[in-house]
Amino acid sequence: MYDLVIKNGRVVNADASFDADVAINGETIAAIGKDLAGTREIDATGKLVTPGAIDGHVHMQMTLPGGPTSTDTFFTGTRSAAFGGTTTIIDFAECRRRESMADSLARRRAEADPQVVVDYALHMTVGPTEINKLDQIAGLINDGCVSFKLYMAYGFYLDDGQLLQAMQKIAQGGGMAVIHAENWPAIQALVADNLANGNTSPVYHAASRPIALEAEAAARAIELATYARMPLHVFHVGSDDVVDRIAAARAKGLPVTAETCPQYLLLTEDLYSRSGVDGALPVCAPPLRSEYHRQKMWEALATDRLQIVATDHCPFTIAEKQRGINANDFTKIPGGIPSVELRYPLLYSFGVDDDLFTENQWVQMCCSRPAHIFGLKNKGVIAPGYDADIVIFDGDTEWLIEPDTLHDASDWTPYNGTRMGGRVISTFVRGKPVVQDGEFVGAQGSGQYVKRAL
Ligand code: DUC
Ligand code: ZN
């Protein structure tokens, strides 16, 4: 007799789908088979039973330099994640000037631990002030923090020499880097030019960050990572030019992977020409691109030219976005879009339901591949011995996205009014329900920090 059996569902893994019961003992999947009996049983007839989804790129309660803090706390953000079938997030730790990487990690964990309702890990950010701390990297990797965020954009970007130094230390320690690839000095020249010419509206946010400057940076990062012999994951890809660079590197057998995000799959740059704050809401970096590139992102996912989907979930309120409009300066608009709750159902609705890719590819890009890329050894697969992170998903229910149906702390969603073709019913994290039949039943602090290994 098992502790819990999810009965009669259609189990969907990356490599196969099959009808079976899933038995759980404690926090772990114990067996998969027919007619399994449990102390507690849940009927999943007609439903999909998938691994918990993994979102490798979120920013909960992140304070921008001199600016606002992203709207979701670790509690509201992970509750929202759970409603969308996401059972592990990876957020970021950022060092203060004189703080060690280990202390920064501990400080961020102290913020997250009492709040999280799903499991989480952290990427360690390496900025210019961390260049004299690079010897700490190996120790961090040994302690399970294996990925390092390198920015090529914003005031804290690394120049090429710093990038290479960081990559070599990460390679020596056996870690990997995740990168925000944009050519910051070139972007700054375009920004200055636009502002000097009175081009202050959100349209010029996108105009100042053209695809060429993202593709150039991605290609440069790949070259440096290749020289340093370090695995590289490229964040938030929204243009086919960048996908070309990723695909070329992978064709040579280089350890390069990349993600796109829901905003690049479903939204386009023409939103920036809406008047008032509406044009500011979808400001994010890299910016939204054209309809051509939007369609290319779906194609890239279907053909394996892109490997995974993450969100870059980073909401700011309408009032915070409005301040950038009031200041008549697109650089004052805090960048970020919420979607931690919607990624998994959106990818089902517009990917699987619209026949662009299979349910197995959906699970691969949202669950098993993120687990593999980021070193989450016990997650992303429904098989005995894995963590019992499980989603019961109804692939047949149609529903409409409205602001009130979501559970994050944002006061807007760019997906308002979108008709969806599938919905999360229940979400289990290590065997415990966090969302059950559409109701939150989790407890703050029940999520765990996950140590990783590549
Ligand atoms: N881009 C955003 O738009 N927001 C958060 C960080 C990032 O890179
Ligand atoms: Zn980000």
Expressed in angstroms and rounded, the spacing between residue 336 Cα and the centre of ligand 1 is: 5
The pLDDT value given to residue 3 = 98
Q: What is the dihedral of CA 130, 122, 230, 310, to 10 degrees?
A: -130
Expressed in angstroms and rounded, the spacing between residue 314 Cα and the centre of ligand 2 is: 7
Expressed in angstroms and rounded, the spacing between residue 165 Cα and the centre of ligand 2 is: 22
Instruction: Determine if ligand 1 sits within 6 Å of the CB of residue 284.
Output: yes
The pLDDT value given to residue 402 = 85
The Cα-based distances of 410 to 81, 184, 319, 404 in angstroms read 13, 29, 11, 10
Name the pairing type of β-strands 48-51 and 390-394: antiparallel
**Residue showing tokens 């998938």:** 50
The pLDDT value given to residue 404 = 86
Half-sphere exposure of 219 (CA within 13 A, CB side): 12
Instruction: Determine if ligand 1 sits within 6 Å of the CB of residue 57.
Output: no
342: tokens are 């919607």
For the chain, the three-class secondary structure string (H helix, E strand, C coil) is CEEEEEEEEEEECCCCEEEEEEEEECCEEEEEECCCCEEEEEECCCCEEEECEEECCECCCCECCCCCECCCCHHHHHHHHHHCCEEEEEEEECCCCCCCHHHHHHHHHHHHCCCCCCEEEEEEEECHHHHHHHHHHHHHHHCCCCEEEEECCCCCCCCHHHHHHHHHHHHHHCCEEEEECCCHHHHHHHHHHHHHCCCCCCHHHHHCCCHHHHHHHHHHHHHHHHHHCCCEEECCCCCHHHHHHHHHHHHCCCCEEEEECHHHHHCCHHHHHCCCHHHHCCCCCCCCCCHHHHHHHHHHHHCCCCCEECCCECCCCHHHHHHHHHCCCHHHCCCCECCCCCHHHHHHHHHHCCCCCCHHHHHHHHHHHHHHHHCCCCCCCCCCCCECCEEEEECCCCEECCHHHCCCCCCCCCCCCCEECCEEEEEEECCEEEEECCEECCCCCCCCECCCCC
Share of the chain above pLDDT 90, in %: 98
Nearest Cα residue to atom 1 of ligand 1: 285
Nearest Cα residue to atom 8 of ligand 1: 285
Half-sphere exposure of 5 (CA within 13 A, CB side): 17
| Burial of residue 199 (number of CB atoms within 10 Å: 0-12, 13-18, 19+) | middle
**Residue showing tokens 């772990």:** 28
The pLDDT value given to residue 60 = 98
d(CA 305, CA 296): 10
Among residues 298, 283, 301, 366, the alpha carbon closest in space to that of 89 is found at 366
pTM over 0.95: yes
The pLDDT value given to residue 66 = 87
Expressed in angstroms and rounded, the spacing between residue 318 Cα and the centre of ligand 2 is: 19
Q: What angle do CA 299, 182, 416 make, to 5 degrees?
A: 55
Q: Average pLDDT by consecutive 10-residue portion of the chain (454 residues)?
A: 98 98 98 98 98 98 94 98 99 97 98 98 98 98 98 97 98 98 98 98 98 98 98 98 98 98 98 98 98 98 98 98 97 98 98 98 99 98 98 97 91 97 98 98 98 98
The pLDDT value given to residue 422 = 97
Q: What angle do CA 186, 189, 193 make, to 5 degrees?
A: 145
The pLDDT value given to residue 117 = 99
70 near 61, Cβ under 8 Å?
A: yes
d(CA 9, CA 300): 30
Share of the chain above pLDDT 70, in %: 100
Instruction: Determine if ligand 1 sits within 6 Å of the CB of residue 335.
Output: yes
Instruction: Determine if ligand 1 sits within 6 Å of the CB of residue 294.
Output: no
The pLDDT value given to residue 256 = 98
Residue type, position 60, single letter: M
Instruction: Determine if ligand 1 sits within 6 Å of the CB of residue 370.
Output: no
Expressed in angstroms and rounded, the spacing between residue 242 Cα and the centre of ligand 1 is: 17
d(CA 200, CA 331): 8
